[in-house]
Structure 1
Amino acid sequence: MTQPQTGQPAGQGDLLEPLASRVAEPLAGMVDSVEMSNLIGAGILISAVIIAVFVKSVIYGTAMKAARRGKQQMLMRILHRARSVATIAVAILAVELTLPLITMPEAVGVFVDRIVNLFLIGVCGWLVILVLRALTDARMSRYDLDAEDNLEARRITTRMRVLRQMMTMVILLVTVATMLMTFPSVRAIGVSLFASAGVAGIVIGFAARPVLSNLLAGIQIALTQPIRIGDAVIMEGEWGWIEEITSTYVVVKIWDWRRLVVPLTQIIEKPFQNWTRETASIIGSVVWHLDYTAPVGRMREKLKEFLDESALWDGDVQVLQVIETSEETMELRALMSAKNSPTAWDLRCEIREKMISWLQAECPGALPRRRGQLQIDQNEIAVSDAERPASDDGRDRNISDQIQHPEDDAADEKKAAGHEGSRQQ
Structure 2
Amino acid sequence: MDWLTESARIVVVVAGGAAAGIVTYLAVSLFARLARHSTWGASTRLIWKRCAGGLRVALPLIGVYLSLPFALEAPALERTQVVLSVALISVSAYLLIRALYGIEDLITARLDLEHEDNLDARRVQTQLRVMRGVLASFIVFTAVIVILLFVPGFRQIGSGLLASAGIAGLVIGFAAQRALGNLLAGFQIAVTQPIRLDDVVVVEGEWGRIEEISLTYVVVRIWDERRLILPISYFLEKPFTNWTRETAQILGTVYLYTDYRVPIDELRAELDRIVEKSEHWDGRVKGLVVTDSKEHSLELRALVSAKDGGSAWDLRCEVREKLVRFLAENYPETLPRIRAELDGAHKAA
Range into which the TM-score falls when normalised by the shorter chain: over 0.9
- Equivalence for 2:157: 186
**1:86 aligned to which of 44, 55, 69:** 55
Of stretches 354-363 and 59-68 in structure 1, the one that deviates more from structure 2 is 59-68
What is the 5 A alignment of 1:141-156?
A: 141-156=109-124
- Equivalence for 2:301: 333
What is the 5 A alignment of 1:178-257?
A: 178-181=146-149, 182=151, 183-193=154-164, 198-257=166-225
Q: Write the deviation string for residues 232-269 of structure 1: whole angstroms up to 9, x where unpaired.
A: 11111111111111111000111111111000111211
**1:126 aligned to which of 71, 74, 94:** 94
1:44 aligns with 2:12: yes
Q: Write the deviation string for residues 68-126 of structure 1: whole angstroms up to 9, x where unpaired.
A: 22232232222222222101101111112112223x34231122111111111111011
CA displacement at 1:56 relative to structure 2: 2.1
Q: Percent identity?
A: 40
Is the Cα contact below 8 Å between 1:359 and 1:367 reproduced in 2? yes
Query: How far apart, in 2, do the equivalents of 1:242 and 1:148 lie?
Result: 16
CA displacement at 1:372 relative to structure 2: 3.4
Is the Cα contact below 8 Å between 1:244 and 1:250 reproduced in 2? yes
CA displacement at 1:375 relative to structure 2: 5.8
Is the Cα contact below 8 Å between 2:251 and 2:312 reproduced in 1? yes
Unmatched runs of 5 consecutive residues or more in structure 2: none
CA displacement at 1:187 relative to structure 2: 2.8
Is the Cα contact below 8 Å between 2:69 and 2:77 reproduced in 1? no
Query: How far apart, in 2, do the equivalents of 1:88 and 1:342 lie?
Result: 47
CA displacement at 1:168 relative to structure 2: 1.4
CA displacement at 1:190 relative to structure 2: 3.9
Helix, strand or coil at the partner of 1:84: helix
Change (3 A) 1:376 1:79: closer
CA displacement at 1:356 relative to structure 2: 1.1
- Equivalence for 1:25: none
Q: Write the deviation string for residues 164-199 of structure 1: whole angstroms up to 9, x where unpaired.
A: 111112211222232233213213214424xxx655
Query: How far apart, in 1, do the equivalents of 2:28 and 2:148 lie?
Result: 32
Query: How far apart, in 2, do the equivalents of 1:220 and 1:152 lie?
Result: 18
Helix, strand or coil at the partner of 1:316: strand
AA aligned opposite 1:242? I
1:308 aligns with 2:276: yes
Unmatched runs of 5 consecutive residues or more in structure 1: 1-33, 382-425
Query: How far apart, in 1, do the equivalents of 2:104 and 2:30 lie?
Result: 24
Of stretches 68-77 and 37-46 in structure 1, the one that deviates more from structure 2 is 68-77
Larger Rg: 1
- Equivalence for 2:46: 77
Change (3 A) 1:120 1:368: same
1:321 aligns with 2:289: yes
Is the Cα contact below 8 Å between 2:256 and 2:299 reproduced in 1? yes
CA displacement at 1:288 relative to structure 2: 0.8
Of stretches 178-187 and 211-220 in structure 1, the one that deviates more from structure 2 is 178-187
Query: How far apart, in 2, do the equivalents of 1:204 and 1:369 lie?
Result: 67
Of stretches 64-73 and 280-289 in structure 1, the one that deviates more from structure 2 is 64-73
- TM-score, normalising length: structure 1: 0.76
What is the 5 A alignment of 1:387-406?
A: none
Helix, strand or coil at the partner of 2:116: coil
AA aligned opposite 1:79? W
Helix, strand or coil at the partner of 1:106: coil
1:169 aligns with 2:137: yes
What is the 5 A alignment of 1:256-295?
A: 256-295=224-263
Is the Cα contact below 8 Å between 2:12 and 2:70 reproduced in 1? no
**1:136 aligned to which of 100, 104, 117:** 104
Q: Write the deviation string for residues 405-425 of structure 1: whole angstroms up to 9, x where unpaired.
A: xxxxxxxxxxxxxxxxxxxxx
CA displacement at 1:129 relative to structure 2: 0.8
Give the superposed CA RMSD.
2.0
Higher relative contact order (CA 8 A, sep 6+): 2
AA aligned opposite 2:18? I
Is the Cα contact below 8 Å between 2:287 and 2:304 reproduced in 1? yes
Moved over 3 A (4+): 197-204, 372-377
1:110 aligns with 2:78: yes
CA displacement at 1:316 relative to structure 2: 0.5
